[in-house]
Structure formats: C-alpha cells, structure tokens
Chains A and B, each alone.
Chain A
Amino acid sequence: MLLYENKKAKLLNILKIGINPFKKFVSTGEIKEDLGLVNSRKPTLQHIVQIIKDEDNFILPIIGNVGTGKTHLFWALKNILYYYNTIYISLDTVYKKFFYSTYSEFIDAIGVEPLRFIVNQLCDDWGALDRIYGFFHIADIDKVKKIAIQKLKNQFESDEQATLIDVINGIVTHQLDPFKKIEAEGWLLGELMNVRELSRLKLRYDLRKGKAAYVMLKLLIENSKLGSVLFIDDFERIISILKPKDSDTEEIFDPSWLYGQSQSPEKISSQKLLQKIIKLQSIKRLHLIITLKSDRSLEEIKKSFQELSKDKEIKFIDPIYIENFTEDDIYDFYTNNMKHFLENLGLTKLAKAEFDYFPLNKQFLKTIYSTTNGNPREIIKLLIKVFNEIIFSNDDLRFILEEYEPKKL
C-alpha cells in the first residue's frame, strides 16, 4: 500500500514528458474544446441560452476585444445546448459561396443520420408513405413531387422556384428511388457532381450553384426536431470588405474605370453577403449569433442591414459584452485547465489533488494577470511560455519562476 506519494514531484515528472497543459491560445471552430467557462462568464452563458430559448429570428451580437474568448464561448454554448444544432462559421473563411459553405458546416455538425431522418419526415409529409389497403406503400414519385411543390412554393420567392424543384427532386429521389439512393445522398451531402451524375439524378446543378444550399438549409432547419444556432465569428470581416482600400495599397485595374460603376465591387460583394444573412435570418427556428470587436462595428452593421431591408425589420438583441478575465478568473482558469489536463491523461486521482497552483503559485498568476491586463489570449500565451520553460529547462523551478518576475516580463 502506498502510504505517501509526493504528488507535486509526480506532476513535475508528468510535465517533463513534454506535454504542455496549455496548448492553444487561439480557439477555432474546428477543434472541439471541452474546458468550461470561468465563473465570471457563466451568467453570460446562461443569459445567451435564455435568449435562444425565448426569442426567435434574431441576431445576437457578442462584442469583445481580440483574444477575449469569443470563439471559446461557441464551444461552451455547443456543449450546453443539447437540443440545438449549434454550427460555427467564420465569416473570414466562408464569405465566398456563403450558403454552400454554411450548408456544409451544418451537415458536418448534424451528421448523416439526422439528415436522413429529416428528409424521410419531409417525404412522409408529402405523401410518400400513403398506404393502399391500409398497409402497402405506393411510392408514386411524381405525385409526391407535385404535393411537395404545392406545399412549399409559397415559402420561396419566384427566383427560387426552379431551385426548389431541383431540391425536391433530390430529396424524393433519395427517399423513394432505391437505385439512385446512394448518388442522391451524395448530392444531399453537398458533394460536387459532374453533368453525367446530375443528369442521372435528373437534377440541374449540385448544391454549390445559386440558392440550392439555402433552400436545403431552410428545409432542414425548419423541419429539424432540434432548434439551430448559427454562430458567425469574425463578423467584422463584412466591414473590411466594405471599407475602401488603404492608400498604400497598390492600384490595380478596376473595371469601373471603363464602365463607370456607381458602386465599388467590394460594396456589391458585402451587400450580397448581407442579403444572404438577411435571408438566413428569416429562416424559422434559426438563431444567429455574431461576434464583433466593438460597438462602432455593430452600429455600422446595423446601418447596412437597415439600408438593405427597408421593408423588413431585422431584430437585433442588445449586445452581450465579453470582458477580460477578472483576477479570480485566472486562478479559476488555471486550476480547471490543470485538472482537465490530468483527467485527459487518465490521472483522475492526481486531478483531484490540491496543488495550490503548483508548479506556479498564486503570486505568479497575479503577476501574469497584471502584465496581461486579464486578456485571456495573452494569459494563455504567457502560461504556454512558462510551462515550456518548466518542461524543457534543467533549471530549478524556483529559478525559472524568478525569471518571470514583473520587471523581466
């Protein structure tokens, strides 16, 4: 029986293997994060959840400086919203082919089985499961398509009708034509297809083209059993598209020199993107959350939305501000992160032990806090640096920590 174990020495030995407990100082929408929020942010998270539950068809702005943890908030939301499809997109990467990229992210988030279930329910609603003599299904594909068009045509605008027919063809083929089911599923999953594949399915385009991805998104979101939350990060990107080029940018040929365009291509591009977001915002049961860096950006974006949607009010919820960490937060964050790190290594007993901020100490964390003004990203950067020193240096721990005294930082 082990009577005594030097847990601190054990922790140091584990660190010396070469694994840094603080790995990422930039959160992304792709890599899942399990670490919860610090205590001071928990009420904010609850407030957002309440808004999602209570309100419909809104845009909720989340404002915070660079590195305050806006993207990390997405993961905290995703982990808590069990009954929602929570999807992350960064406007920085998806502003081209916006609907198609958003659709791809949506499918990636919900998975194939829920997609199959929703299209099955849609086909059922369109009469695909009508029974003859009380038992036998008659898969009359043309009849099902006709019913679908009748039911849906009023929900889409006139320029979307041809796309709607294509989408209905895709869904009905997937459900009722067993010989084309596999190809049709590829189409539903957003695979790019050549003309031959499309003609076999009797479809005009794949989901990349036009508004097909939007029509699919609307159908899936409105008919999903779960609500949907779309978290659009880096929304400021839309302003950078709008803004004129810097004076020091090299001038290149612009077609407007010849044709006398009244609007710049950048403005047209950003307006198109805003129009698409307005369309998304009108989808029932979809909640939009956008992240911004300042109030000024929000005002600019609100103004642009208002200009574009004169006949329709865009519902903006009062912004939620993400501030830097409080002093208590850094202690909370450090402790939780270390516990999480040890648990992930399977060292549950060690994770439960009281380390009193070892291998650092409270004073050291306080120094980090004051040096970084509580900015989470800067805090994590410094912690990574310190832990790298601890892991790779042969010096005594005390000596390493002394190196990070305020005057040396």
Chain B
Amino acid sequence: MSHINEIVLYDLIQGIIIEGEYLGSIITKYKDDRKSVIFSDQVKISKDNGLFFEKGLTIGFEILNHKSSAFSRKLDNFTISDLSTIEYCVRIPDDIMFLYDEGQFSDTFPFTINLLHTSGLYLDDYKYGINHFDFFHGEILNNPISLINNGIILADRVVIDDQGDPVFYDCLIVGRDEKENLKVSYEPLTNVDDKAVEFIIILGIEELKI
C-alpha cells in the first residue's frame, strides 16, 4: 500500500515543494546531524517563509555531558526558514491513518511499558552509541520512533526478539524507494535487523499530556 506525490509536501532530493496549509498527520525530517523528526497536525509551507508549525513535537538526539541523550520537545508557533535544512515533509493519507488507528488498543497484551520521559533505546554512533536492547529484551515498549537508514518507523509498540532485533507492531513507515521517491505504508508488524537501525527513541507519556 503506497501513495506517492500527493502525500509529499516537500522533498529536498526530488525538488518538490507544494505551497499551502495542510492539516492531518504530518512528518517532517530534518537534514541535520541530530537526525531530528517533527510530528505535527498542521503545517504551512511557502518558498519564501519556509515551514511554519503552530504546534508540533520534535524528537532526536543531542549531546549532553559528553553523552548522547534522546529528547522530545513541544513546538509552538515554530518556523523553519531555511528549507535546505529539511529533507522532507510528508502527510500520511487518511486511509493509512485509519489502519493505524484500528491497530491501537486492539492488542490483548496489557503488560506493555510506558516510559514517563523520552529515552533513547538504541543509537548507532561510534562515539556516543546507546544500546539497551539486552535490558529490555522480551519487554513490550510503547510509542517507539525509529530511524532506519533513511526511513522512519512510527509504531504503537516494539519488542526486542531473541535475535536481539527490534520488532515493531502497528507501524507507519516513511521511506524512499530505489528511485528515491518517498513512500508511505502501514504494516501491522515489521522486524528490522539491528544493523540497519540508526536510532530508536521511546517517547515518554509526559510529552503527550495536553
């Protein structure tokens, strides 16, 4: 299940920019070292003023006290004027969001773990790498967000399997095909080789309070 073009609002690589104001489920990926991602339900795009978010949530990694630390921050009336710092901005189609919604709360595993504050589960970095896979092996963690090469996985939950690889459930996937076109899909279950994972952040529920 994929949709191209109509869901891509901005793509630096393909040179796509569709000016306007958009509502829905929007993912924006920075093109920076921190590998940040912004989630928002509204965005204004223009060539002159860049991207404007009335409300949003940005996640990524930063270096604090010589250590990598995952962060998530609320954004209010936030503008990114320099469009060259953004790799892409996509709006997830409603039919895919419908499937994603259906997967929520439908599991029969009540013992999932919610973290209070946003934390890094895994970061592939030669100097400041993080790997808590062993610690959470076999546990079900809620609200994982992962960067896999150039793709983003936003899932309802993640489990580390016997091979030490993450298995994501109820996932939205944004990525590029072999022609570098952006594509979006929904998968009920995705397992990923840990070697392909750039990072996994577990979003804290404190960030989701209104």
Contacts and interface: CB of A to CB of B under 8 A. Distances in A.
Interface residues of A, number: 22
A134 interface: yes
Interface stretch (A124-132, A154-162, A325-333): A124-132
Contacts of B172: 135
B208 A132 contact: yes
Contacts, number: 60
Contacts of B110: 178-179, 181-182
A133 interface: yes
A198 interface: no
Interface string B163-203: 00000000010000000000000000000000000000001
Chain B: number of interface residues, binned into ranges: 20 to 34
B39 A133 contact: yes
A128 B102 CA distance: 11
Nearest to B56: A133
Given A128-B105, A134-B25, A178 B154 contact: no
Question: By DSSP majority rule, is chain A's interface helix, strand, loop, or mixed?
Answer: mixed
A174 to B, nearest CB: 9
Contacts of B102: 120
A277 B111 CA distance: 43
Interface in B88-129: 92, 101-102, 104-112
Contacts of A86: none
A338 interface: no
Contacts of A136: 39, 57, 143, 203, 208
Interface string A365-397: 000000000000000000000000000000000
A189 interface: no
Given A138-B208, A138-B210, A178-B110, A133 B105 contact: no
Contacts of A137: 101, 104-105
A175 interface: yes
B105 A176 contact: yes
A169 B155 CA distance: 28
Find the residue from A133, A137, A140 having the highest chain B CB count within 10 A.
A133
Contacts of A128: 105
Contacts of B55: 133
A43 B39 CA distance: 60
B62 interface: no
B36 interface: no
A396 to B, nearest CB: 63
Given A129-B104, A131-B25, A134-B26, A178 B112 contact: yes
A129 B112 contact: no
A182 B143 CA distance: 22
Nearest to B105: A175
B50 to A, nearest CB: 19
Interface in A131-168: 131-140
B40 interface: yes
A134 B112 contact: no
A134 B210 contact: no
A138 B111 CA distance: 18
Nearest to B114: A178
B87 interface: no
Given A120-B106, A136-B203, A181-B110, A131 B41 contact: yes
A133 B41 contact: yes
A134 B108 contact: no
Given A129-B104, A131-B41, A136-B143, 8 more contacts: A131-B25, A132-B208, A133-B39, A133-B41, A133-B56, A134-B41, A136-B208, A181-B108
28 contacts: A116-B106, A120-B102, A129-B104, A132-B208, A133-B39, A133-B40, A133-B41, A133-B56, A133-B57, A134-B24, A134-B25, A134-B41, A134-B92, A135-B25, A135-B39, A135-B154, A136-B39, A136-B57, A136-B143, A136-B208, A137-B101, A137-B105, A138-B209, A138-B210, A178-B105, A181-B108, A182-B108, A182-B110
